[in-house]
Structure 1
Amino acid sequence: MFDNLSDKLDKAFHILKGHGKITDVNVADTLKEVRRALLDADVNFKIAKDFTTRVRDKAIGENVLTTLQPGQLMVKIVKDELTELMGGDAAGINLSGTPTVILMSGLQGSGKTTFSGKLANYLKTKKNKKPLLVACDIYRPAAINQLHVVGGQIGVEVYSEEGNRNPVEIAQNAIKHAKANGFNVVIVDTAGRLAVDEEMMNEIANVHKAIEPQETLFVVDAMTGQDAVNTAKAFNDRLDFDGVILTKLDGDTRGGAAITIKSVVNKPIKFVGTGEKMEAIDVFYPARMAERILGMGDVVSLVERAQEQYDEEEARKLQKKIAKNEFGFDDFLSQIQQVKKMGNMKDLVGMIPGAGKALKDVEIEDDAFKHIEAIIHSMTPAERSKPAVLDAKRKTRIAKGSGTSIQQVNQLLKQFDQMSKMMKMMQGGAGKNLMRMMGGMKGMKP
């Protein structure tokens, strides 16, 4: 995510290394590179120029504290300005109304239908809502079927009317259905537009007028860069939407859309899509995104994802097993499954301060655990429970069964043994304090 921009900004800040004070000369050289990095990231020229001017005005003449280097001070100023450029504070979603009506809009291919499902899943699991998905895309082949498939994956009902070619009527009937059946959120998935043409814009404007949604969201593919920003402006001029959804952010190495869309349409980015899974949806926090762009990681989001998978009862059981030296490969496999639920591995690594930079040339696949899982699944229940019984003959059988080598099996056993010893040590005061801290952090607001 934003790899190219992060690398170029890091190189720009190196210009200040070794200087004791920020001056006109060294700040000009740095900001020249910052502006170039922003332009390469597909940021509008005027926005990039205004941005660097604001940074320059704040940076010139500032004395560097004894514990702060010029490069670090510049990073802080750039981070603060990036945060403001992307919206400042996180924008919540309006869930008023009985039911809450959310209208989804966007170009065809932006990921609107899939994200409608992700949003429904988010509201169901995180906000304890009962959402209804509504199929109002009457043009794209198999669009209605796609929404039914998405709804089936997340256990959310989909409302559709076979043969009805009037999206206004479908949306209005869906709201009546929601009121009659206890649904408290209605998410209306409209037809994607191939271009901003007058007929299609009139149609969605009519739907908007008829159902008066609490939230109108514009879904845009982050990888389209500045074109996404221009399209958002055209839609906003007609719909006056409430917020932006950026999809496919995990595949965007530039970041221009995320950085500039707020300043162009003056509407906040509310959510981002970070992968293909239904759980791959994040609330957009400008400050956290600015930190990630600058290579600072995003520990808060990482902890929040971990907390979502943290089960206090399971943790207590695990603690007892560790204390009795009964931690086995079944428990290890369970921990792997929890980590995988947190999101794709590359995204998680990017949240660890410094790790993204250190591993920037390392390809981290989502199936990074597949060899470990294959080895564990090739063990018998007794072997998983008591790894000490694994002799050379058993290891050979496991290697053949898992399609791995003896060396890989031995490496896993060694790592498992080291981890078990470390977890045993954590049973002391430090470990108990960590468990209490994790328990206390659940439910804390960011």
Structure 2
Amino acid sequence: MKHLLSILLLACGIAQAQPALKTSVLLQPATQTTGVSAARLARIDALLQEYVDKGWIPGATAIVAKDGKIIYHKAIGYSDVAKGTPLTKDAIFRIASQTKAITSVGIMMLWEEGKLLLDDPVSKYIPEFRSPKVLASFNKADTSYTTSPAKSEITLRQLLSHSSGIGYAGIGSPEMNAIYAKAGVISGIGAPQGVVLGDKMKILGTLPLQHQPGEKFTYGLNTDVLGYVIEVISGMPLDRYFQQRIFTPLGMKDTYFYLPQSKYSRLVPLHTEDRDKKLAVTDATASRGVNPNYPAAPGTYFSGGAGLSSTAYDYALFMQMLLNGGTYNGVRLLAPATVRLMTTNQIGAIERGWGHKFGLGFELVTPQSKAYTALSEGSFSWGGYFSSQYWIDPEKKIVGQLFINLLPNSHGEIHDKFKNMVYAALE
């Protein structure tokens, strides 16, 4: 007992002797940043301008921070090519699947509070997911299908790691696209006024899975389901939960599911490529039969997988929080151990391509995939449907992202070039 008491007292003494950890706060650009070549960073300007001048992209907003200091933050090109409207750093972009990281953090906050366990069955919170079935056969002629019983229930962990067997509406496999369309399940982008998340997620729970839970990685509506789980547990609509628990604490003033009217003018019009690969402004979702004004209009559908819009700076605050181990500017959203858990491989030996693995909401750079990227091992990242990508590199203490509102983007290689140039500027 004396020995144990001595150990405890020693531990307390060590803890008291440790200096308080400094929380990194995202600062505006410094005149000079140690360990970074300003001349080499400036080459990013030329890269982005080249893609604009060649008509490959309308414009881009990029931001990079190292050690809590912004080392690059510029907007190059146009918000609207046809009108010649210059793009600005405070422009608001549809971030689509970059919403997933925020929803994943929201779920893990509830996990820390003891409101859920990662291996809870989804049916505990949404009964319609009880006794799931797996697609066995599909008749293309009439979209009928047969199913077989799933070997197990879907878990929250499988939703976070996209291994549940749930597919994506509109951009998934032909079979699942047809099944979801017939049932009225949507992708989550620009839903018509009056449609609500819970109704669609309950329908989704009755539809077949693409494969057995936990056996494959299938990118799908998993995070939309998690968004509804947040609503069920918290008793709040997802937009209010995000605003109260994440956006306001972090100082994210320009991130919304549906923009206030005062900010409509800052929304970047979505561009597309015509048959001649020329850029033209289009609406965000008209071809999908949903609200063409999204998100510059009122809405009721809060998609945890794809619904948010934001600025490069706002989202960088969120990334910096994760890089800091769950805290930003004196506000802690998650414990460091929770961030480590989220960025640990959760799919085991399941193949992701290029050696990448997947955690709880993020793609992970592994020793194997490090051979194909400038990012350090342990970096985590993802992107959005309208040609946006972000990454967080704990080893180099870097957060970075590139926003381009363009669909499709025939020159997606710009994202890799951008990352390469960032790392080439490190001394």
Normalized against structure 2, the TM-score is what?
A: 0.27
- Which one has the largest radius of gyration? 1
Q: Give the number of the structure whose residues are more often helix, by fraction.
A: 1
The higher-RCO structure (CA 8 Å, 6+ apart) is: 2
TM-score, L = length of structure 1? 0.26
